Structure 1
Amino acid sequence: MKKKVLAIIMWSIVWQGVAQSEDENRLRSIFDTSLTKGKAYDWLNYLSNQIGGRLSGSVEAQLAVEYTKAQLDSLGLDRVWLQPVKVPKWVRGTPEFAFVETSPGVTTNVPICALGGSVATPLGGLKANVVEVQGIDELKNLGEERITGKIVFFNRPMDPSLINTFQAYSGCVDQRYAGALEAAQYGAVGVIVRSLSLRLDDFPHTGSMSYGDLPVNQRIPAAAISTKGAQLLSTTLKLNPETKFYFKQNCKQLEDVDSFNVIGEITGTTYPDEVLLVGGHLDSWDLGDGAHDDGAGCVQSMEVLRLLKNTGYRPQRTIRAVLFMNEENGLRGGNEYAKVAKTNQEKHVFALESDSGGFTPRGFSFDCSEANLQKVGQWKTLFAPYLIHFFEKGYSGADIRPLKQEGMVLAGLRPDSQRYFDHHHAANDTFEHVNKRELELGAAAMASLVYLFDKYGVVSD
């Protein structure tokens, strides 16, 4: 009996060694193919430089839908299709203009941009005294008497002491999203928000904002000011509290329009009804060309399918790439995809999103059970040769979050984030700031994780 038990143990060790070696070889093949024969960078070049910023509902967004579908068609996948979705159409209009006025006729121009979803200023622009606050909570302490008729200047910066820059972003994004809604209720006539960036520069960063249920006639214009402009305005107010701020913007919210999620898949050979999803969002803001946010995630997701196919891997489960529309100002694509999946009773067991830029991959964060997290931890040694070591519980992605259900694993690619908010939602989110090798490493890391989940499945709760 002892000999039999020993034999079983020895066989298990040998089998695990064979499996480990097989997985190492598979990952090596994926990374080699991505780094030497990758397509992601070329795809991103076209999206960024031939199409440009892809604001939901725009002509550029539709061109991106047509281009990415054509590229997926060219890969010889089992199925490629467009999923209809209604999206909001907000337009920026003519370039915004603003200045700080310390006394009549003495002005200094500052860079601003309208926040996505904002109303326009009056035709001649808006000029008023300014009240500076560090956050929404200060509005209540100031009260209507000190806010009515003024422009509220939200100047809380991202916390530079936080290593996780997404945590720093989360710590002050509420003033951008809800600042105008809250300030309007105290009689403010406009809102200026410090750009959410750790860098001191002249690029204003846009982003979504909401008026909630506030009646249209009570909505006030909202704009982001560059970090340098914010520093100037804050310093000037300290020297001269009677300083005025002027800004003019011509943005407008139009009726919803038709758009699409772009989807391609390789059908599983053994468990075709089990879906492993990888994706990013195809829309972007309009100031830059959306190379990092989130053109990178889209082309990486497309590349996952190409890498698995070109390395000769035949998945057991269906692997699907989804390029979601309208993450930036509505999440309509993600919500519609989840709705259709539920209606069709599709079984999604795993979903991975890349929406943190095309920088060097450091690892993944997982929204899953402890059992699945432990399983993922056993794969860390496979990623170690590629300097990918971050495997922790955490946030996955906005577009895949509506899919969440018990037993499912959601994951997010986690690149190095230190430079991400230098470009996020700004005019310098452009192709020239994407490193080809870093983008390719991210695509290979994603394909490797998808391969492992396809081969070994998820742990049932």
Structure 2
Amino acid sequence: MKYTIFLLAVLLSVSISAQTDAENIKKIYDASLSNGKSYEWLDYLSNGIGGRLSGSENAERAVQYTKAEMGKLGFDKVWLQPVMVPKWVRGNPEEAHIEMSNGKAIKVNICALGGSVATPDSGVTAEVIEVQGIDELEALGEAKLKGKIVFFNRPLDPTLINTFSAYGGAVDQRGGGARAASKYGAVGAIVRSMNLRLDDFPHTGGTRYGDQPVNERIPTAAISTNDAELLSKTLKTDTKVKFFFKQNPKQYDDVLSHNVIGEITGSEFPNEYIVVGGHLDSWDLGDGSHDDGAGCVQSMDVLRLLKLSGIKPKRTIRVVMFMNEENGLRGGTEYARVAKEKNENHIFALESDSGGFTPRGFIFDSNEERFNKVLQWKSLFEPYLIHFFGQGGSGADIGPLKSDSIVLAGLRPDSQRYFEYHHTSIDTFDAINKRELELGAATMTSLIYLVDKYGF
């Protein structure tokens, strides 16, 4: 009899707790959708400031703006964390055209890849060798590649529903194509844009030379998917076609920048830290609204929505605007270094860096036991059409925090259109839907609420 009464008491307690959680999560969604701030903040970040390439004046303006806005929200602490970042400048607009053997020239759309060296002042003109990936270069060898421009034309796999998997299957040619091609005497590298759609917008993104001497580096640029198709088709009918491109980016010495951090101190476990964030820097072609202004303003609103919903965190919650994810990951690396130096106990970190589209769920980097605990909360999200709880990743900026004692997570919005905008001139505020952005902020806040309440 006593056991039966005890069991009923436990079940009643669990039922009341679940009911309270559902009520609090509804409060969070209601607050975000009726009184959200993320869209307003993003409007200024995108239209009032613009693209925020690391080391730029706009990046510094974004640091000061987000610090000031967080200062208005009544957090217990707001501060700047110094970090040295690379400063790469694109220079004048790029030029490129296909030169047919009959003398006809067809203008095409390119953009220098981030970190690329410049061409000579007169540009580079050479015959083109098309490949589907870096692994083909060795078979071709120096005899066929020396003095040529290598055209990496492997597209994203359209059959993959997870577009991030498609991106991951093609992006190596952007990151390492130029360095690999230079070893065989190539004079330049052109890379098909990382985009599932056929359009005229070239996609920038980082390229890496590693420790290769500067005088051995070759210039590299992305070409739009429409023009990649055109170049490939032309090469099939005109084997003597040449390609011309001209660009003049420059790499400067590292400069001082900052991560921007706001904090609410936990009422019961102040030495257990929960982090939510995005990266404040962006590429320079658009204004970085999806990548990753959306993640930054959603993260800022997480702490505000908790306060607005009357939820007092048990654990210390930090919002972090990381600097330099796009071309160095210096901000995330420095935050993790300082946290380790101070012996801070981080139990959870959530990043939003997949665009401001409709949220679908989360992806987690954790052991099975902790993931199973997270799965117990899944039903609380289903009224908001959040169905996906998966394993296998999180976010680039929070990656350096990884250890056995922390769970990492990434917000996963619907990704089908994300790579149409990613790293392009059309990643602008007009591509943001206010309701979708605010749903993402509410979804993040709800997960942070549950982790803070129950821990791991």
**Normalised by the size of structure 2, how large is the TM-score?**
1.00
The CA distance in 2 between the partners of 1:82 and 1:213, in whole Å, is 31
What percent of counterpart residues are identical? Answer: 66
**Do the aligned residues in 2 keep the contact of 1:368 with 1:407 (CA within 8 Å)?**
no
1:104: how far off? 5.6
Note the 1:45-84 alignment, pairs <5 A.
45-84=43-82
Match of 1:286 in 2: 284
Give CA-to-partner distance per residue, 1:329-359, whole Å, 9 cap, x none: 0000000000010111111000000000000
Aligned equivalents of 1:381, 1:330: Cα separation in 2: 38
Alignment-derived partner of residue 38 in structure 1: 36
Is the CA contact (8 Å cut-off) linking 2:282 and 2:291 kept in structure 1? yes
Quick check: 2:346–2:405 contact (8 Å CA) kept in 1? Answer: no
AA aligned opposite 1:48:
S
Distance 2:373 2:101 in 1: 65
Tell me which residue corresponds to 1:443.
441
CA offsets, 1:87-130, max 9 Å, x none? 00000000000000103641000000000000000001110000
8 Å CA contact 1:193–1:223 kept in 2: the answer is yes
The answer for the alignment partner of 2:250 in structure 1 is 252
Aligned to 2:79, what secondary structure does the other structure show?
Answer: strand
- C-alpha displacement at 1:407, in angstroms? 2.3
Match of 2:21 in 1: 23
Q: Which moved more, 1:292-301 or 1:211-220?
A: 211-220
**C-alpha separation in 2, matches of 1:228 and 1:173:** 18
Residue in 1 that maps onto 2:3 = 5
Give the conservation status (yes or no) of the 8 Å contact 1:143–1:186.
Answer: yes
Instruction: Give per-residue Cα distances to partners, 1:210-258, cap 9 Å, x unaligned.
Output: 1112111110000000000100000000010100000000101000000
User: Amino acid of the residue matched to residue 411 of structure 2?
Assistant: L
SS at match of 1:95: coil
Task: Tell me the equivalent position of 1:433.
Answer: 431
- 1:261-276 to structure 2, matched below 5 A, reads 261-276=259-274
Note the C-alpha offset of 1:32. Answer: 0.1
Partner Cα distance (1:99, 1:387) in 2: 47
> C-alpha separation between the residues in 2 aligned to 1:78 and 1:407?
25
Contact 2:84–2:256 (Cα < 8 Å) also in 1? yes
Among 167, 170, 186, the alignment partner of 1:169 is 167
Instruction: State the alpha-carbon separation in 1 of the partners of residues 250 and 170 from structure 2.
Output: 26
AA aligned to 2:15 is G
Please say if 1:189 is aligned against 2:176: no
**1:394 Cα offset (Å):** 1.5
The within-5 A match list for 1:61-460 is: 61-103=59-101, 105-458=103-456
**Aligned partner of residue 53 in structure 1, secondary structure:** coil
* Higher deviation after alignment, 202-211 or 103-112: 103-112
Alignment-mate amino acid for residue 118 of structure 1: S
Q: How many residues align?
A: 456
Backbone CA RMSD of aligned residues: 0.6
Give the aligned residue type for 2:173: Q
The answer on whether the counterparts of 2:90 and 2:248 sit within 8 Å (CA) in structure 1 is yes
Q: Which amino acid aligns with 1:59?
A: E
What is the distance in 1 between the residues matched to 2:338 and 2:102?
58
- Looking at structure 2, the residues matched to 428 and 4 of structure 1 have their Cα atoms a distance apart, in angstroms, of 66
Paired letter, 1:366:
F
Contact 1:369–1:407 (8 Å) recurs in 2: no
Cα distance in 1, alignment partners of residues 101 and 141 from structure 2: 26
Cα deviations by residue, 1:116-164 (Å, 9 ceiling, x for unpaired): 0000000011100000000000001101000000000000000000000
**Which whole-Å CA distance do the structure 1 matches of 2:318 and 2:211 have between them?**
37
1:369 deviation in Å? Answer: 1.1
Q: Contact between 1:354 and 1:412, CA under 8 Å: does it hold in 2?
A: yes
Moved over 4 A (4+): none
Give the superposition deviation at 1:445.
0.4
TM-score, length-scaled by structure 1: 0.98
- Separation in 1, partners of 2:328, 2:418: 22
Distance in 2, matches of 1:216 and 1:77, equals 46
1:274-298 Cα offsets, whole Å, 9 max, x none, are 0000000000000000000000000
Q: CA deviation at 1:265?
A: 0.7
8 A Cα contact 2:275 2:348, kept in partner: yes
Structure 2 distance, partners of 1:229, 1:25, is: 52
Which amino acid is 1:32 matched to?
D
Task: Deviation per CA, 1:300-351: give whole Å up to 9, x if none.
Answer: 0000010001111110000100000000000000000000101111110000
Q: 2:101, 2:238 within 8 Å by CA — same for their partners in 1?
A: no
Cα offset, 1:392, TM superposition: 1.1
Inter-partner Cα distance in structure 2 for 1:381 and 1:363: 12
Query: What SS does structure 1 have at the residue aligned with 2:449?
Result: helix
CA distance in 2, matches of 1:424, 1:291: 10
Q: Secondary structure at the match of 2:255?
A: strand
